[in-house]
Structure 1
Amino acid sequence: MRLTIQTKLFLSHFTAIILVSGSVGTYFYQSATENLMNALQSRLKNSAALISQGLSIDNLDRIRDESDISDPVYKKNVVALREFIKANPDIAFVYIMRKLDDKVFFVIDSDMQDPALPGEEYEHDIPELMEGFLRPSVDEYITEDKWGFFLSGYSPLDGGKDDYMVGIDMRADEVQSKFEKIRLAGFLSLAFSIILATIFSRLLTISFTRRISSLTTRFASIAPIDDDVAVDMRGDELDQLSRSFDLMSKRLSIKQQQIDANEIELRKAHGDLEQRVESRTAELVLTNEKLLQEIAERKNVERILEETSRTDYLTGVLNRRAMTDRLEQVLSQTARGSKSFCTILLDIDHFKIINDKYGHDVGDQVLKHSVEKLKGCIREADELGRWGGEEFLILAPETELVEADNLAQRLCRELAAASIVLQRQEISVTASFGLTRYQPGENLAACLKRTDDALYAAKAEGRNCVVVIEPR
């Protein structure tokens, strides 16, 4: 059986739409499952961290073996763990573990039917569980032990100092039920895609074949078929269009002699037209070059304006607005799990005296000199910005307080050791430094206020020094 063009087009369009929608649907399904797993892992990790904050390790050393289940400390903590499970029905178990050397032992288990007894060793080697004694962590995949299949989150008690950890388990069937909902949504989406593919394929096919039929009718009207000639209806729409076109060509060939008679005049007109086209093309090329040049100049101006809006006109470092934007970006990265950062605020000592004694031009040169020295000493990842007047702010991302202190001390020494000669006079430049570390969870203003307090403390101590204020 020979298919018509309409049927072929319908099948091809339908197949293409299904392939595209299927690929997109597969991508979004995979993304949804990954996002769900990430959300479950994040919830388990955060829940474990939250529980750990509400538990105390006081007297947990008293609970060593199964004889201690009658101890008031054991009973109190079991009640607390079971209260959490009541508030979170999808959580199966909550437990506290102790690490001795490389072994892990149960201390308290919330299971009401078959609880792990105090002192019972947990024999499974799970890297995420061991990490939970140091920092909040979560299983990367569903794990199996004698109690079943689980996805678990862990968090140390008392900051991981005393080898105690709290863990929470979510049953695999709870996780699986959440994925089943995503699969159902995927199947419904696929069915909806098939319906839409059928409708759109039908509409596209009708639109395309209608044009073929229209062309066939127009060809037949240009070259009408005589009544005594049999009409061949074999083949599909394109075959019929081809026959109509052939018949029209034969009829039009009769007029070729008239076309040949006008060929000379057409060639002459063609030559004139080519000349005019070449002239016009040259004008268009010139206009296009000018337009491209204007576009390039405009982009360059836009780039310069963008740089100007973000940099200090005198020193060339980031201005306060750009530095604030950068601080907000690093704060967001810290909130998503990156290491914390430190801020260093420095003030050129006795800068007003320099301005009053030597003039503002010399003051500007001192600022430029100081910036060059600072840029030469900070690390590649650090960022320097003019905070206002003679104050400069240094952002040290993913940096501990000790590292930032060493950096500030080095900057203080290097700046004091490098004098500048202006107006045939040697001018010594020093600066006071205030330093602190961002405490996760606080707002940016609190961190900057602490940095400012540290700077003022450095000035109060006699300037040309570094003062560190640790976050509370």
Structure 2
Amino acid sequence: MNIRISVRTKLFLSHILIVVFIAGTAGTYFYLSAVESLMNGLKERLQASAGLISQTLDAEVLRHIRAEEDTVSPEYAATLDQLRTLKRMNPDIAFLYVMRLEAEKVFFIIDSDETNAQALPGKNYDHDLPTLRRGFTSMIVDDEISTDEWGSFLSGYAPIKNAKGQYLVGIDMRADQVREKYSALRISGAVSLFAAILLAFILARILANRFMMPIRVSISRCSSIAEGRYDEQLDIQTNDELDRLIEAINKMSSSLSLSQRTTQAAVNSLHQAKNELEIRVRQRTADLSEVNNKLSQEVAERLVAQKALQAAATIDPLTRLFNRRVIQERLDLEVARNSRQNTPFTLIIVDLDHFKMINDTHGHDAGDSILVETGVRMKGIIRGQDTLARWGGEEFMMLLPDTDAAGGLEVAEKVRVRIADTTYYFAGQEIRITASFGVAQYDGDLDRATMAADKALYQAKSLGRNRVVLADAES
């Protein structure tokens, strides 16, 4: 008794198997993702610990500790005891240490290591780690495990108080076992994935062979018909819908055998017409392809030119900030919005103090570097809806929507402190610079508000620079 199973059922069963194996593969993927999440959590805790500990240390207390003979100082002993106490409180911490950056070299100040391998003050750390160097200015954690003479660690860094880009605290967490487990999990996941793919391939191959067998026979028979052998018949059964295909091929073979002579002339004529049509289509296709390529090239060139013109019209080429034209347009938009909704906005004009002296002393390249870095620092403080533009020379303008004069003063003071209290670096040199600020709230007349802010700026200059001045209401 032959059981009839439809092609649809066979395909359904094969799809079920494929889905099962895909699910297994997805499970492996999510398992590895979970391991990665654990690693990210470890890095977050490391960064938080570095940030907290950095606030308990003051660079002013440690500045005189520079060489091995300074280990007798009470400041060194007190800080070393503090670091070792923190280390004992957290078993995950392998080492705590304070480092100093001087002349592009990194030196140990204090190391919590309680073995003979302890790094004494003044010891040069000769491993060039980009993450460590960035730790002198901001909190940061290694992206991957690093190895040095003390072992393999995942490290976090944070500048301590009053560091001025020269001091940091570092935390090392031992990572040997974590890395081994992580590697084992990766190998296990890779083996599981490979096994799943291999098994899915084998099963798919078996199913495909069973399904394709009658199709291959049918194709072979069609090839025989194409060669003019019409008397052969297929004698196979699949017990599914393919039986109808086999029957149709057998009927077609019989019909063609009867009509071969009468249709041969028509077939020859059709072949000739087909060949001529293919020639014309190929020629037309080649012509259209050439025209299309030329049009595509022209469109691409125009798009590149359009983007270049747009950038040149809106972006300052040095600082990559908006130029004067863009902020003027946004000022006009804020004036229109103020007239509709009566929402306040404030202008701030910023001018770098003694900028000509910087150019004369350190060169125009240094001046350009300071302009770019100042733009970056100001953008890091203002909001996303605020606009910062280069107003001209060493002047910048900030547009603060939905902000009154008091809010503008607060923002200007934050920017002033950021510029004045943070050292600029160029070609290995430290450069200190300040800025003066003129703040004015829009009062119904844009030109008057701009002039008021400019007047307040020059008042700040005349009062000694490095200050924020709010425009008088009468201005």
What is the TM-score with the length of structure 2 in the denominator?
0.45
What is the TM-score with the length of structure 1 in the denominator?
0.45
